Chains A and B, each alone.
Chain A
Amino acid sequence: MRRFIATICLLFVFSASAFASGFSIYEASARANAMLGAFSAYAEHVSTIYYNPAGLGGLDGIRFSGGATIIAPRTSFRNLSSLAPLGQKTNLKDQNFWVPNAYASYQINDNLTAGIGVYSPFGLGTEWPSDWVGRGASIKADIKSLFVTPAIGYKLPDFGIGKIKIGAGLRMAVYGQVKLKRAVQSFTPEGSFSLNGDLDKTAFGFNAGILYQPIEAVTLGFTYRSKIKTKYKGDAVFTNLPVGFPQTAKGSAEITFPSSYVVALNVKPIEGLTTELDYVWWGWSSYDKLAINFDQTIPALKSAESPEGKQIVNERNYKDSYQIRFGAEYSKLGIKGLTIRGGIAYDKNPIRDRYVDPTLPDADRWLFSGGLSYDLTNYLAVDASYIFIRAKQRKVTDSTAGGIDGVYNTYANLPSFGITLKL
């Protein structure tokens, strides 16, 4: 009985998006989406607050941009475990997520511009049928985050070596929510565990960037985003588990969102054409484990590793990862006010094979995008874009505790819309 329930492995607290490296969301404005986020040396749109705050430097007038990205992931799972027929297929429940974004900037003087951005850089969710073969690993995982970033950008005086802009922002996680549910199969009849947690208090980080334009047609960009440690508190509910569990408990968990940096090259080879190539690095190795702490001893959780029975620890052991993003924009189509864009990107996932679980069926992926902007007036433009994501087939064998062996296939459609105002 010593190992009664060696691990109840909730794993996943912060998992969830099926759309970008780990659970990050890089889709922060419709215009940037159209270029697949190759935007950190672009600097001519107010969403630069997210992509590179240095872009604020010299951004004139009053600017506003707002919109939303719809993320519609579709994932299938084919069983390779001993718990169900080989190859049995289960589809992730269809869910569509709205991810909002809004940015505003105000030019204080010729060289100095301040701005503020609201966006959701981490999150999303997965939900599987409650009777599926992997229910012991996950039934539902859902995370929402909302960041507010006041930022400032400054255009340095001309030193005769080209234009240099610098900028920085305060990244504040002001809202966060975690919802998790999984079956507990250690007992017959099966029970379930669910956790609903909210961000305990605002968490802080920063971003900082630089833009260097040695010649008119070339801009180099660099952005750094610090890691942000967030803490969640909420209610754990143990359903249909009359032995070994309380009915409810208070639970908390800490999640560190990873740091990242971007190296960007923007080139305007001919009039009207802008191309950009970005390399994005993610410090996911900081996400080595996930611990959920309870306010009381839970007899079923007692084990050699956790004699107190107050904690569940799940090893994640993410690796650092990267993305390569390429985007292009063309505005000389002969239709006044119309700009078209396109992009392609490769996204290397941070999860080792054994650690992939149904809360986040991540995989290396290719992304393709297209989009356009149309200037309705001198002040107002509408932006639209479409991203299609195809993830490589992900085969998981010898999965870690709490995972399930099988093969995941994922694709996603991400339409997005926005408006851009320039006053």
Chain B
Amino acid sequence: MKRFLSLFVLLALITSCKDYNSLDIKPVDSGSADFSSYVAVGNSLTAGYQNGALYKSAQQYSFPKLIARQIGISDQFSQPLISDPGIGGRIELTNLDPVETTQNSSQGNPINQSDKPFTNLGIPGAVLVDYLNPQNSGHLKERATDPNNPAFNPFYGIVMEQSELAKSAPNIHDQVAKQNPTFITFWLGNNDVLNFVTSGGEGQQPTSPSNFDQLYQGSVQALASTGASVIVYNIPDVTTIPFVFYLRTELQQQGAIVFNSDTQSYQLVTPQGNFDIYIQTDNGNRVMRQYDFPLLSASSYFAQIQAGQTPPPIDANGDGTPESVIPDQLVLDGPAGGPQGSSELEQAAGTVAQYNNSIQSAANAAGFTLVDINGIFSQIFSDFQSSQGQQGYNANGLTLRPVPGELFSFDGIHPTNRGEAVLANETIKAMNQSFSSNVPMINISKIPEGFPVAAGS
């Protein structure tokens, strides 16, 4: 009997002493690539910018950080964190049903500047020329260090090392090369055309496609010289971002505007009837047609019209001359009678197409893997359109439509946390295909939405 009991004691001891806590997490199968040192290059999309600001709560879900977690090097992957509500003026919810937002005027502060150089080198506002900035031809130095420069951008100084910015021709590539990366994601070029789009064609002109092509080839050569496995991304078509298409759809759904198929024009719904909407374009004022997009930045303009604080952009007295028009910078006008290809939409779309050709051929020549984010977004957008706004990106039991609050954050340009996870998964797909690696995909439904909420609302 005693032997019997001691057997129990022994069994208990054996099971309690066995160290179950030495769980072997299998290293990720990286195939032909080496993921041990990962550097991400890009702009606000790479930085994890969201809802009009760069802030820590969203940076935790930047797609490069998510990739770093999936390849098991999260601890080594450093980002220039900024305390909430971040820098940029965060758009925050004040009401949920219906959704109402406000912009937070408070700013956050950089948290971990001593961790430089950062492995996430996503710099909000960065353009392609910044990668090499030959002879400071992109004026990166002035834009990064001179607060009085109209194009001053504080993010360069937050992301890059001061020693780099102190050079006469600072560039991002040096920050990459000094970290001896084995794996790089490279996504620049969006801002080369985006500023033109978001300003309704009135801001900076796009980087010329030929210049872009040259810069891209140079960048690819520099990337290749690091010996790292490189993933590059192309540029989404401008009409697939909510900043361009969403407001018009919203106004239609609210019944504030309608499309008159007889006159082939958009009309404002008023108590006196429906009137053609007039827009300002570089070729003069004209009626708003099928390919003209009032931008998300025109939301407050339309709110003022509805509140009677701004005269409506219509020809109310019928004399053929509108009393008011939607200002040019609030509309991306499309083809409507002007010279072929001269509209803002055509210019932007044509530029993006040429950029993407450059990206594709340079990537092919260098043997880099291309993530066709343009193709992916175009598919999502076309599914969304053809389903009357019901469909979107389907994964893990979710349908993320390309609208603010689902795939895109409230700024209409940058993804939500879950949108970042979509970018990460699409990257992982490309990695696994290209490197024969076996990086696990992210369960997107597990990524918290993290919508910013205004304090005290």
Contact = CB atoms under 8 A, between A and B. Distances in A.
Interface of A: 1-6, 76, 78, 80-87, 89, 136, 185-190, 241-244, 273, 299-300, 302, 328, 330, 333, 340, 342-344, 366, 368-370, 388, 390, 393, 398-399, 401, 404-405, 407, 409, 411
B447 to A, nearest CB: 7
A370 B94 contact: no
Given A242-B454, A244-B96, A388-B12, A342 B446 contact: no
B253 interface: no
Nearest to B449: A186
20 contacts: A1-B405, A4-B451, A82-B70, A82-B447, A83-B448, A84-B74, A86-B69, A87-B25, A188-B451, A242-B453, A242-B456, A243-B93, A243-B95, A243-B457, A299-B96, A299-B97, A344-B8, A368-B12, A409-B21, A409-B23
Given A370-B9, A398-B443, A187 B457 contact: no
Contact of A186 (B403, B446, B448): B448
Contacts of A273: 1
A272 to B, nearest CB: 9
A185 B69 CA distance: 19
A76 B376 CA distance: 40
B84 A188 contact: yes
- Which of A1, A189, A273, A344 has the largest count of B CB atoms less than 10 A from its CB? A1
Contacts of A190: 450
B5 A342 contact: yes
The 10 A-B pairs with the shortest beta carbon distances in the complex, nearest first, are A185-B448, A244-B96, A299-B97, A85-B74, A390-B15, A1-B405, A87-B25, A188-B57, A368-B12, A409-B20
Nearest to B451: A187
Given A82-B66, A82-B70, A136-B448, 14 more contacts: A3-B398, A3-B406, A4-B96, A5-B449, A78-B25, A86-B72, A186-B449, A188-B452, A189-B84, A302-B97, A330-B1, A343-B8, A399-B446, A409-B23
Q: Interface majority SS on A: helix, strand, loop or mixed?
A: loop
Contacts of B9: 370
B99 A187 contact: no
A83 B446 contact: yes
Q: Which of A188, A405, A411 has the most CB of B within 10 A?
A: A188
Interface in B117-142: none
Contacts of A87: 23, 25
Interface string B13-29: 00110001101010000
Contacts of A78: 21, 23, 25
Contacts of B443: 81-82, 398, 405
Contact of B20 (A83, A243, A328, A393): A393
B94 A188 contact: no
Contacts of B97: 244, 299, 302
B422 to A, nearest CB: 12
A282 B142 CA distance: 73
A188 B23 contact: no
Contacts of A342: 4-5, 8
Given A243-B96, A243-B453, A189 B446 contact: no
A219 B212 CA distance: 89
Contacts of B421: 82
B25 to A, nearest CB: 4
Contacts of A405: 443, 446
Contact of B21 (A76, A86, A333): A76
Contacts of B455: 242
Contacts of A243: 93-96, 453-454, 457
A299 B403 CA distance: 20
Nearest to A91: B21
Nearest to A330: B1
B176 interface: no
Which of B58, B70, B94, B443 has the most chain A CB atoms inside 10 A of its CB?
A: B443
A342 B8 CA distance: 8
Contacts of B442: 82
A207 B23 CA distance: 43
B162 interface: no
A89 B450 contact: no
Contacts of A76: 21
A18 B96 CA distance: 38
A189 B449 contact: no
Contacts of A398: 443
B303 interface: no
A189 B454 contact: no
A340 B453 contact: no
Contacts of A188: 55, 57-58, 84, 450-453
A414 to B, nearest CB: 12
A144 B55 CA distance: 42
A359 to B, nearest CB: 17
Nearest to B448: A185
Nearest to B447: A82
Contact of B69 (A82, A244, A388): A82
B69 A4 contact: no
Contacts of B1: 273, 330, 333, 340
B232 to A, nearest CB: 23
